[in-house]
Amino acid sequence: MDKKELKTMRSSFQKLDERRIEILHDPRIHSLMEKVSKIRKDSIDNMEELLEISKIKFQDNGIEFTYAETAEDARNIIYQLVKGYSIIAKSKSNTVGEIGLSQFLKEKDIDIVETDLGDRIVQLNYKDQRPAHPIGPALHLNIDKIAEIIHDTLGVEVEAEPRAIMELIKQDVLKELELCSVGITGANSVAAEDGSLIIVHNEGNISLLSMMDTHIIVVGIDKLVPTIEDAISVVKLETAYATGTYLPSYMNIISGPSKTADIEKRLLKDMYGAKKVIVVMIDNGRSKALKECLWCIGCGSCIVACPVYNAVGNEFGFRGYLGGRGTAISKFLESDESSYNNGLFMCTLCGLCTLECPVSTPTSDIIEKLRFSVQKSGFYPKIHTQISENIKKEGSPFKKE
Ligand code: SF4
């Protein structure tokens, strides 16, 4: 991120903080926080069991269940499902970003159209397609910059005015969607015992994607919770912390493909919605991750509070998983080296992210543990060796002239 983008990001964070202040002091949100913390901790402790239950329940509900051990497995499963199409549609999803699906499919000549406004802007920004916030991916781009990106990539002049930009992108995406019959989304929470997935959104784009012939839902095993009531509690808390509102405009609960029994109670498939719903459940290192690293509900509050993220932006993090928790999880999703390169040693261990986290993820403790293990593989700032040698030899961290 350049200086201008960092400035815009900080100003967007400030607006978000102002919007959230009232709701975060509401006693209802406090009790929801306690409830969800317990749900998330218990669910991560029982992740394997929930996975087995969900597999059976999805199949009972007519949802095809697939399991991917690695990111590569996930890409290949999805490719088998979409090969033969030249364009497919997608909504915002950190899990899809994690497995590098867009680039992979592009190399196979399959275009992905981003349907979320912020994601579409970031996608058009070919110079740097990294998001700045899990819910507001383009909040680091000011309006003049967005107008410039649109001019450069779509070749049209647009007034630097929010509604004009929104209308232009909306029409552009709708035109592309006419060519798509496969929609790929993530899910915010998954109810194992009900075989249901919840996807929250404000724009209505998920509803469009879930009406396509095939709806593919890509989700990590860490999103599993026992029941639909638990899943709703999780997404309500996520919404409050991420946007400062009590509820999103839409919560799509997907529990099967489209069907009707309106004629003599005979079951008929393929009414208006998806003919096929396919879940791609991804492990990709999660089952070996530190449990507390998986409590996250994806609200992005940690990065708003983080002094390092505010100073350097999305250099500190891994793809859509931003800030300290993002660098930490990248050790498990990718490697020690990835975690080191994503800023494991940039964290100040101040603990502000834990104070702001609705489920109290102990990010600084996690980072301390991971630094200890990652340095054993040779990934640590080499200047530390020099400092330690100076202390041993000179009794001071500084080298004598
Ligand atoms: S502990 Fe690290 S990740 Fe958390 S707010 Fe402080 S600097 Fe950021």
Using CB distances shorter than 6 Å, the residues near ligand 1 are 305-308, 323-324, 347-353, 363-364
Quick one: which atom of ligand 1 is closest to the CA of 348? 7
Cβ neighbors of 108 (< 8 A, separation 6 or more) are: 79, 83
Domain ranges of the chain: 3-286, 300-385
Cα–Cα distance, 106 to 203 (Å, whole number): 25
Q: How close is the Cα of 284 to the center of ligand 1, in Å?
A: 25
pLDDT over threshold 80, residue 282: yes
Residue with CA closest to ligand 1 atom 2: 347
126 band by pLDDT with thresholds 50, 70 and 90: confident
As a whole-number percent, the residues of the chain with pLDDT over 70 amount to 100
pLDDT recorded at residue 175: 95
pLDDT recorded at residue 55: 97
Cβ neighbors of 251 (< 8 A, separation 6 or more) are: 198, 199, 200, 232, 235
pLDDT recorded at residue 39: 98
pLDDT over threshold 80, residue 140: yes
The distance from CA 169 to its chain's CA centroid, rounded to whole angstroms, is 22
Establish how many alpha carbons lie within 13 A of residue 240's alpha carbon, considering only the half-sphere containing its beta carbon: 25
Angstrom CA distances, 41 to 15, 46, 293, stand at 31, 9, 10
Residue with CA closest to ligand 1 atom 3: 324
Cα–Cα distance, 357 to 310 (Å, whole number): 16
pLDDT over threshold 90, residue 192: yes
Q: How close is the Cα of 247 to the center of ligand 1, in Å?
A: 28
Cα angle, residue 187 at apex, residues 131 and 76 outer, rounded to 5°: 80
Q: Which residue has the tokens 């690293």?
A: 293
pLDDT over threshold 90, residue 89: yes
Angstrom CA distances, 57 to 52, 157, 186, 216, 225, stand at 9, 50, 19, 17, 13
360 band by pLDDT with thresholds 50, 70 and 90: very high
pLDDT recorded at residue 137: 86
Cα–Cα distance, 184 to 388 (Å, whole number): 50
Spell out the alpha helix ranges (H) of 301-400.
301-305, 307-312, 323-333, 336-341, 352-356, 363-376, 383-394
Please, what is the angle between helix 363-376 and helix 323-333, to 10°? Answer: 40
pLDDT recorded at residue 136: 84
Whole-number CA gyration radius for the chain: 22
Q: How close is the Cα of 308 to the center of ligand 1, in Å?
A: 7
Q: How close is the Cα of 298 to the center of ligand 1, in Å?
A: 16
Cα–Cα distance, 280 to 68 (Å, whole number): 7
Q: How close is the Cα of 155 to the center of ligand 1, in Å?
A: 41
Average pLDDT over residues 244-254: 94
40 band by pLDDT with thresholds 50, 70 and 90: very high
Average pLDDT over residues 268-282: 95
1 band by pLDDT with thresholds 50, 70 and 90: confident
Q: Taking Cα atoms as reference points, which of 5, 6, 19, 7 lies closest to residue 301?
A: 19
Average pLDDT over residues 58-65: 97
8-state DSSP, 287: G
pLDDT recorded at residue 125: 84
Spell out the alpha helix ranges (H) of 129-203.
143-154, 162-177
Cα–Cα distance, 252 to 203 (Å, whole number): 12
398 band by pLDDT with thresholds 50, 70 and 90: confident
pLDDT recorded at residue 93: 92
399 band by pLDDT with thresholds 50, 70 and 90: confident
The distance from CA 63 to its chain's CA centroid, rounded to whole angstroms, is 23
Cα–Cα distance, 10 to 150 (Å, whole number): 23
As a whole-number percent, the residues of the chain with pLDDT over 90 amount to 83
Domain 3-286 bears CATH identifier 3.40.50.10420? yes
pLDDT over threshold 80, residue 127: no
107 band by pLDDT with thresholds 50, 70 and 90: very high
Average pLDDT over residues 105-109: 95
Average pLDDT over residues 33-40: 98
Average pLDDT over residues 57-71: 97
Quick one: which atom of ligand 1 is closest to the CA of 364? 1
- By DSSP bridging, strand 224-225 and strand 250-254 are unpaired
Q: What is the dihedral of CA 186, 187, 188, 192, to 10 degrees?
A: -150
130 band by pLDDT with thresholds 50, 70 and 90: confident
Cβ neighbors of 278 (< 8 A, separation 6 or more) are: 63, 64, 65, 66, 81, 214, 215, 216, 217
Question: Is residue 200 within a helix (H) or strand (E), and if so which, with residue range?
Answer: strand 196-201
Looking at the DSSP assignment, which residues form a beta bridge with residue 220?
A: 282
Average pLDDT over residues 130-141: 86
Q: For residue range 298-354, what is the model confidence (pLDDT) as tens digits?
A: 999 999 999 999 999 999 999 989 999 999 999 999 999 999 999 999 999 999 999
Residue with CA closest to ligand 1 atom 4: 353
Q: What is the pTM of this model?
A: 0.92
pLDDT over threshold 80, residue 401: no
Quick one: which atom of ligand 1 is closest to the CA of 324? 3
Question: Is residue 278 within a helix (H) or strand (E), and if so which, with residue range?
Answer: strand 276-282
Mean pLDDT of the chain: 94
